Chain A
Amino acid sequence: MTTSCFHCLEPVPPGFSAHVQFESQPQPVCCTGCQAVAETILAQGMSDYYKFRTDSAGKVEELVPEQLKELLSYDNADIQQDFVSQQGELQEVLLSVEGISCAACAWLIEKQLLGLKGVARVDVNTSTHRAMILWHPQQCKLSDIIKSLHQIGYKAYPFQADDEAAQKQTVAKAYLRRLGVAGLMTMQVMMFAFAMYFGMFSGMEDNFEQYFRWISLFLASPVILYSAMPFLTNAIKGLRAKQLNMDLPVSLAIFGAYAASCYATVMSVGEVYFESICMFTFLLLLGKYLEFRARLKASEFTANLQKLLPLTARQLLPDGEQKIVAAKSLQLSDQIMIKPGETIPADGVLISGSTTVDESMMTGEHLPVKKYQTHQVYAGTINHDGVITIEINKVGQNTLLNQIIKLQHNALTKRPKIVEVTDKVAQWFVACLLIFASITAVAWYQIDPPHAFWVTISVLVATCPCALSLAIPTALTCAVATLTRKGILIKESHVLETVPKLTRMAFDKTGTLTEGRFSIESVSVLNKNWQESDVMALAVALERYSEHPIAKAFTELVVSPRQLSDVEVITGSGVKARFGEHSVAIGKSAWFGNHSSFAQATLFVDGKPIADFYLADKVRNSAPEIINYAQGQGLSCHLLSGDSSNAVKDLALELGLDTYKNACSPQDKQKQVESWSAQQHVVGMVGDGVNDSPVFNSAHLSIAMETGADISKNTADVVLLNSDLKSLQTLHQVAKKTKTVIKQNLTLSLCYNGSILPLAAMGLVPPWVAVIGMSASSILVITNSLRLLKL
């Protein structure tokens, strides 16, 4: 039986033995990182964390000296400018914290940081995974705060909130306030309304009834004039744009009935409808708020992503010294040094050193690109294995990355749209309602002038499109909640309506249909004296020491470990070590000059080639299935790849895709999708890289993989959290089901409104019947929507 780690609950690897003391019992841990963290937590008297947490902690990774140095750069005032704000004497920062899983984490972090000298306030939000910290800059440094978080196992980095996110927060708060007022006041108004209903049957003194009406007017006014105001402003906005939207009948009913009820109260005539319109406002706000909150959660998740460019750069001064500066302060022809594994902070020409660079996020090409002197490198790409110096030749808006971002913004304004069902229904609903109300008014004016006004108002209240306007938001809320539970984040409200209408799906290759990383395709053993299993074991043991992207393909394999000594990593060649009597090495084929092959890695023993390893980007297991499903649903599937190799054609043939196009630049992808849209196709794009972000805004629907670049996740309408293509099938099925439920809801509510209309027009609907009818139809619609939660 394997034991699990006390801290992160992952299995303890065999052979590793370390313990921490918890309530005088030794508890096993899986690595020295977890041990250090658990000991810190227990020593500081925060053992409650382990008692009450509801989720496991993440596995702890120890900081390497290089990362510590980067942390120190956060204390630099120039760099802090971007994310630290001054609050009087104190400084405030928002940190995005990785690894927060439950409320216990929030408690732990707050406790740990408040123990530091100089920290004034800590506020952790477990749903957004962010922490707001106020501190005295004289007594404590930002790097100390982040280091202190590392001690208890959390990785933190400064978060730069964009305006859009901040705006959404304000909207969410405004919704909550309006909802609170509507809820509290509706309860009061209902109470008096009930008193008046009973009064109607058992008799009530006139002065009491009049008093109750005034009280109801007083209590209902904030609900109408504050909570329901957005409906009116939206309706007016729609009218200005020459459109009849759903908010128009809603505000017509609310404000019409409110005005009439006020008039009735002041003049002591007719009927009052305060309780109907208050409840209507409350239900409607509730539906809209829940839908908004579900989408807010999705966008909060993607907003946490790190920026593409590093904040700092290592500048080489003319006197040969190195200085860490803020990346945005870099000027043309500055020289900067970039170490292996770092992201390149600016576009420039390589002036010394050589390396390979991972440009997959720009081009979709998955093989690292070799770079020598005079070659151009781009901001946002990752330097793999050499130390290089570059001279900056493009800054600001001119960098390739910013040009791609500009392309994406331009596309946003031209984005194709599908007319939403709500608007279509609203168009003719409003028209019918207005016509019917005027016919009623005119007819009653002929028959019974004093009653004409009141009957017309009761028509407006009775046909109040409560159920109708709840029909869509409630269904969407339930569907979005279901999808979120399945790891599919919906960021835009149009997604569920667009999905069933799709006619074409376009896929990116690397990272979308394929896994975007190398795995071993075949091994050819060159020396008969060696077994394949021995060769693999040695290769895995050696590659454990390498940072090269190819190494990951090996280290994922599980084999019995080999004991190596004197390990040496040779940049640009590979890894070398002693294994018993022999000297072993793994690296590029031409390393020792006695062997050449197309293999990506070769194993040498005593300088002689033993085995060649061929690596390839593996196709995702779920890819064939999802292509089959999509084609079965009548969607045509296309491949748009930035990769210029034959791999694109091979993949398209293997998966049976309808068409493929290779060597696409971001613009090419955009043009292709735009030309499809022009042919009246509804296009969905699935991708992951930076190079996909412009095309995302040209497609009707964009879907990003969780493993993809941050910028593409920010642009996309949908993010697949588990990066599993099968989720597309789930999304399609749920969207279809949602469409059915919405249709049923619309039919139900139109039936109700249609059947009560003639009764109201004949003057047979007293206020209490209107309230019951409205609530009953709303409950029916909500119950129907709730079925979507059980998918």
Chain B
Amino acid sequence: MSIIYILIPIAILFVIIAIGVFFWAVKSEQFSDLNKQGHSILFEDDKEQHNKSNDRDKSV
């Protein structure tokens, strides 16, 4: 059972890391607009097509 003397501090370390990540997320405004972040996964990042159409505009 004495293993918990080591395991619990390690678990606490993880909690501290989690809090660090949470603070970073608050600082970088990830919580200021929950609506947008939730939807962002739906959109394809079709950068290639986007750039292509820009090039086409230029050539016209």
Contacts and interface: CB of A to CB of B under 8 A. Distances in A.
Interface stretch (A44-52, A275-283, A436-444): A44-52
Interface string B36-48: 1011101110100
A597 to B, nearest CB: 56
* A contact patch SS: helix
B31 A176 contact: yes
Contact of B46 (A45, A102, A104, A127): A45
Given A123-B29, A176-B31, A177-B23, A115 B36 contact: no
A125 B53 contact: no
B53 A45 contact: yes
Given A44-B54, A45-B50, A103 B36 contact: yes
Nearest to A116: B54
B3 interface: no
B19 A180 contact: yes
Contact of B26 (A111, A115, A180): A180
A125 B19 contact: no
Contact of B35 (A123, A127, A177): A127
A184 B22 contact: yes
A45 B35 contact: no
A123 B40 CA distance: 13
A215 interface: yes
A106 interface: yes
A219 interface: yes
Contacts of A125: 29, 32-33, 36
B50 to A, nearest CB: 5
Interface string A179-216: 01100110010000000000000000000100100010
A45 B32 CA distance: 28
Contacts of A127: 32-33, 35
Contacts of B40: 103, 107
B10 interface: no
A790 interface: no
Contacts of A215: 8, 12
Interface residues of B, number: 33
Contact of B39 (A52, A115, A185): A52
Given A45-B50, A173-B26, A184 B19 contact: yes
A128 B33 CA distance: 8
Interface residues on A, range: 20 to 34
A211 B12 contact: no
A113 interface: no
Interface string A101-130: 011101100010001000000011111100
A741 to B, nearest CB: 27
Contact of A45 (B18, B26, B36, B49): B49
A73 to B, nearest CB: 27
A103 B35 contact: yes
Nearest to B11: A188
Interface string B3-30: 0110010011001001100110011010
Given A103-B38, A126-B35, A177-B23, A184 B15 contact: yes
Interface in A459-480: none
Contacts of B51: 115
A128 B29 CA distance: 13
A726 B43 CA distance: 41
A43 interface: yes
Contacts of A184: 15, 18-19, 22
Nearest to B28: A123
Given A107-B43, A215-B12, A180 B36 contact: no
10 contacts: A43-B57, A52-B43, A107-B39, A125-B33, A127-B32, A177-B22, A180-B23, A181-B22, A188-B12, A211-B4
Given A173-B27, A215-B8, A215-B12, 12 more contacts: A43-B57, A44-B53, A48-B44, A103-B40, A124-B33, A128-B33, A169-B32, A177-B22, A180-B23, A181-B22, A185-B15, A218-B12
